[in-house]
A = this chain, B = another copy of it.
């Protein structure tokens, strides 16, 4: 492969840029910052990417692909709804506290600047996430493990409180108990007993 070298550099750039975006948000990261972080010359960086937007776009594409809460697999593996719920909420809890690696702020900035092509990826992600949760909740309700909750409402509550905390955790010291309290409350709403 002739482009082995190039691909490595691209990875390096993305990795370096990602740290910067997580740390400073989108707008406050410059091409110069990225050059320096990736230990690359100005022109060298421009060989691969023409702007911070371009780099960021690639990062979040990779990111969103690997994301995606898909519960169906687990359901097929005969896990109980409650177990799956516990697992995902645990994951959420950890993410809420992991302000370091969170791209939340950068994502908000990125999508808020120049709203033209925007929003679609986010909408898509929102929808995908909703579908996954719907599957899980219906499964739990059918099983008799979960209450007869309104799926949409519960989903919104989960997703937006999660996002809200992620956001805040970037800008103020968040009491470590907050994520725990939130997921406990959510469980209380959903799970019988």
Give the residues from 155 to 178 in chain A that come closer than 8 angstroms, CB to CB, to chain B.
156-157, 159-165, 167-168, 170-173, 177-178
Q: Which stretch of A67-75, A79-87, A136-144, A181-189 is in the interface? A: A181-189
Kindly state the separation between the CA atoms of A150 and B181 in the bound complex, as whole angstroms: 9
- Interface size of A in residues (CB-CB distance below 8 Å): 45
* Total copies of this chain within the assembly: 4
B119 and A171 contact, CB distance less than 8 A: yes
B109 and A25 contact, CB distance less than 8 A: yes
List 24 contacting pairs A-B, 8 Å CB cutoff, sorted by A: A25-B109, A27-B109, A28-B113, A105-B108, A108-B170, A112-B170, A115-B171, A119-B171, A122-B171, A153-B181, A153-B182, A153-B184, A156-B161, A156-B165, A156-B181, A156-B182, A157-B157, A157-B161, A159-B164, A160-B168, A160-B182, A163-B164, A164-B165, A189-B189
Binding site for B on A (CB under 8 A): 24-25, 27-28, 105, 107-109, 111-113, 115, 118-119, 122-123, 126, 150, 152-154, 156-157, 159-165, 167-168, 170-173, 177-178, 181-182, 184-186, 188-189
